[in-house]
A and B are shown apart, each in its own frame.
Chain A
Amino acid sequence: MMTLSLAVRNLLRNRRRSLATLLAMAIGSTSILLFGGFSSNVNYELHTRHVQKGGHLQIQHRDFYLYGSGNPTAYGISDYVKILAAIQNDEALQKMVLVATPTLQFGGIAGNYAASVSRTIIGNGFVAEDINRMRRWNDFDLRTQAPLSALEGAAKDAAVVGTGVARVLQLCDALQIARCPKPEKETKSDAANLPDDIAQLSLQETPVASDAAGASPRRIEVLVVSARGAPNVTSLEVIRAEDQGIKELDEVSIMMHLAQLQQLIYGKSPSRATSIMLQLRHSDQIPAALARLAPILARFSVNQPLAVLDFRELNPFYVQTMQMFDTIFGFVFVLIGGIVLFTVSNTMNTTVVERTVEIGTLRAIGLRRAGILRLFVTEGALLGLCGAVLGVVLALVLSVIINQIGMPWLPPGNVELVPFTVSVWGENRMILGTTFGLVCIAILSAWWPARRAARLDVVEALRHV
């Protein structure tokens, strides 16, 4: 208590220097917390988007995640309806699971024959109502909501495509997609060089296009391989194009009703699903849900090996992004920690020099070396604590201002602008960790000058001018 009181008074003794050190620490602490708050917010954004899109957990054939992209239908889950029923009837899971819905992934070719264009696609069939319920999940109270799927309530032959697919299939005008550049038309005509018979054939084709003019301009044909290996074609009405955020995905993505897709792939055979998506009320329920799912899945794994993957395993990009942010956060902390270290160290060194006689006096009247060390380390720790706490207060105030401004920005992989926000309030682990870290750095930086002070020769110290 005596040491603490003396340390406080000594810090107040040279207010200007203490304040300058305090401000340096506070600005450092604020910077760390604001960056950490931004990083947290990116985490919440990505976390929410992935959970909205694919749920927290997905039950899949064990090999689907690694090999399924080659032939998704080969990894279908045969008893998915029974598994869904078992999940929905489980008392513990009922309390945790918000949405449990099947999805079927497929690969194929989509073509707009009116425009003579086609491209390979990777698509999903899902229950639109369930998907829209999943898109309403917002456990982190984000300000922006994911757009709902247009498939809900749409005709059974409706489809939603990525804007890239729409562009390649030349559906931009029909779907009224803004900012959809059209390819330059070939001006050079080879007609004059065509042999007569080929030119005649070409002319014969023209009426076919004229016939198609009566059909919907948003109609596409989708070719898939059925479960038995035969090609199967269906005609779909594209009702909307949705930007998928990533160009590669945007140019292959197609979504349609699960029932329609199952009919296309499985015909009259029993239908399958490639995944069962489970969305939980809260992300921290994942371990409990996994534990509860294990015995249920064991019952259905006799003829087909099943696995449960959480959204982090399914989205390595998310994990990598957050690891990158964590690394940058660590780097920023080290940089600012270094600045704090030298600032506090410099302050304490100056203080020791200024108070050399005082150190000699204290030693002469009986204070041990450890007492001197304790006194200066306490001063450093107090500086660190006050600076860090001031930094927390500043960061909280600034975060409120930044969140109020809500400057729009486009996070990577996002399709819509979101307000630039930082989450500091409630991030107790980050706040406590930063405060503790900075106090430790301050103690460390005070320790060396304090040790020097403690080792001063009493006579030399008293003689100091």
Chain B
Amino acid sequence: MAVLKQVEKTYHMDSVSVPVIKGVDIVVRRACFTVLLGPSGSGKTTLLNMIGCIDRPDKGQVIVAGCKVGDLTDDALSDFRANNIGFIFQNFNLLPVLSAYENIEYPLLLAGASAKKRGERVPKLLEAVGLADKAKYFPGQLSGGQRQRVAIARALARKPKLVIADEPTANLDSETGAAILALMRRMVKRYEVSFIFSSHDPDVIKAADDTIFLKDGTIHGIRRQGGEGAP
């Protein structure tokens, strides 16, 4: 689903250059639950940003859903993200002025989906994440776990091929975090979508199909447990 070839990334802060990713090769398999595991500062988020096409590598190539994203213009990249990638953020990042229903509907509106299509899709997603009765609630009226469920539903709204989740359970208590993890796993199977998420919690390894161990911007190991296997 996503292939990274010899990817490098350096951040320049004033006169200091900090290499964050140093020649990484990764293959994210289709309909697999992939975890990027590593301590803070290991480059997990940077790697996710590049796979999610919101950041570009200094060197190397990123191919997502068969497309060399490095060649795309900013607008084309926006459209590509809208059509192929879903995002789940650590802080949920829901639009506070929109209800749960509207937050999920928003990516469909961006795509110009018809009212009928939206009316069919959004309730299904709400039901899938267990929030059918909270459709009219605004993010401020929902708990952290519920917000993250809305975020998951929003990420899946346009039937993406890949969902990027940057530490989606970091701001949740362990019980809710486990529930969210379980939900994401269910979504992988139900919608046949690749999930790649970052974590520094070693306990998530058992939930993952693939685990990529990162340290200081380099891969220290890859563990594959199951899944379809094809890139």
The residue in A9, A360, A361, A371 that gathers the most chain B C-beta atoms within 10 A of its C-beta is A361
B54 engages A459 (CB within 8 Å)? yes
Complex Cα spacing A368 to B89, Å: 19
Complex Cα spacing A197 to B154, Å: 122
For residue A357, CB closer than 8 A to chain B, the reply is yes
Contacts of A368 in B (CB 8 A): 74-75, 78-79
Contacts of B218 in A (CB 8 A): none
Contacts of B109 in A (CB 8 A): 2
How many B residues are at the interface, by size bracket?
20 to 34
**Distance (Å) between the CB of B215 and the closest chain A CB?**
21
**Distance (Å) between the CB of A339 and the closest chain B CB?**
28
**Distance (Å) between the CB of A248 and the closest chain B CB?**
67
A365 engages B75 (CB within 8 Å)? no
* Chain B proximity mask over A361-389: 1 for CB below 8 Å, otherwise 0: 11111111111000000000000000000
Complex Cα spacing A360 to B89, Å: 11
The residue in A9, A361, A363, A364 that gathers the most chain B C-beta atoms within 10 A of its C-beta is A364
Find residues 338-374 in chain A having any chain B CB closer than 8 Å to their own CB. Answer: 357-358, 360-371
B97 engages A365 (CB within 8 Å)? no
Contacts of B55 in A (CB 8 A): 458-459
For residue B213, CB closer than 8 A to chain A, the reply is no
A365 engages B79 (CB within 8 Å)? no
For residue A6, CB closer than 8 A to chain B, the reply is yes
Contacts of A2 in B (CB 8 A): 106, 109-110
Residue of B nearest to A458 (CB): B54
Given the contacts A365-B107, A462-B89, A13 and B96 also touching, CB distance less than 8 Å: yes
A363 engages B54 (CB within 8 Å)? yes
A363 engages B97 (CB within 8 Å)? no
Complex Cα spacing A13 to B97, Å: 7
B54 touches which of A12, A13, A364, A370 (Cβ 8 Å): A364
* Chain B proximity mask over A5-41: 1 for CB below 8 Å, otherwise 0: 0100110110000000000000000000000000000
Contacts of B82 in A (CB 8 A): 365-367
Find residues 418-465 in chain A having any chain B CB closer than 8 Å to their own CB. Answer: 458-459, 462
Contacts of B54 in A (CB 8 A): 363-364, 458-459, 462
Complex Cα spacing A361 to B89, Å: 9
B110 engages A367 (CB within 8 Å)? yes
Complex Cα spacing A371 to B93, Å: 18
Residue of A nearest to B79 (CB): A366
A9 touches which of B75, B79, B87, B98 (Cβ 8 Å): B98
Complex Cα spacing A258 to B82, Å: 87
B95 engages A361 (CB within 8 Å)? yes
For residue B6, CB closer than 8 A to chain A, the reply is no
Residue of B nearest to A361 (CB): B93
B93 engages A369 (CB within 8 Å)? no
For residue B83, CB closer than 8 A to chain A, the reply is yes
* Chain B proximity mask over A71-115: 1 for CB below 8 Å, otherwise 0: 000000000000000000000000000000000000000000000
For residue B81, CB closer than 8 A to chain A, the reply is yes
* Chain A proximity mask over B103-146: 1 for CB below 8 Å, otherwise 0: 00011011100000000000000000000000000000000000
For residue B49, CB closer than 8 A to chain A, the reply is yes
B107 engages A358 (CB within 8 Å)? no
Residue of A nearest to B92 (CB): A361
**Distance (Å) between the CB of A460 and the closest chain B CB?**
10
Contacts of A362 in B (CB 8 A): 95
Complex Cα spacing A365 to B49, Å: 12
Contacts of B93 in A (CB 8 A): 357-358, 360-361, 462
**Distance (Å) between the CB of A349 and the closest chain B CB?**
19
Complex Cα spacing A360 to B93, Å: 9
A459 engages B49 (CB within 8 Å)? yes
Complex Cα spacing A6 to B106, Å: 10
Residue of A nearest to B74 (CB): A369
Complex Cα spacing A371 to B111, Å: 12
B52 engages A369 (CB within 8 Å)? no
Contacts of B74 in A (CB 8 A): 368-369
Find residues 198-230 in chain A having any chain B CB closer than 8 Å to their own CB. Answer: none
A364 engages B81 (CB within 8 Å)? yes
Contacts of B106 in A (CB 8 A): 2, 365
Residue of A nearest to B95 (CB): A358
B87 touches which of A357, A365, A370, A371 (Cβ 8 Å): A365
Supplied contacts A9-B97, A367-B82, 17 more A-B pairs, CB within 8 Å: A2-B110, A6-B97, A357-B91, A361-B87, A363-B54, A364-B54, A364-B81, A365-B82, A365-B86, A365-B87, A365-B110, A366-B111, A367-B78, A368-B74, A368-B79, A370-B75, A458-B55
* 5 pairs of A and B residues whose beta carbons are closest in the complex: A366-B82, A9-B97, A361-B93, A458-B54, A368-B78
Q: List 15 A-B contacts (CB under 8 A).
A: A6-B95, A13-B96, A357-B93, A358-B93, A361-B87, A361-B89, A361-B95, A362-B95, A364-B81, A365-B81, A365-B82, A368-B78, A459-B49, A459-B54, A459-B55
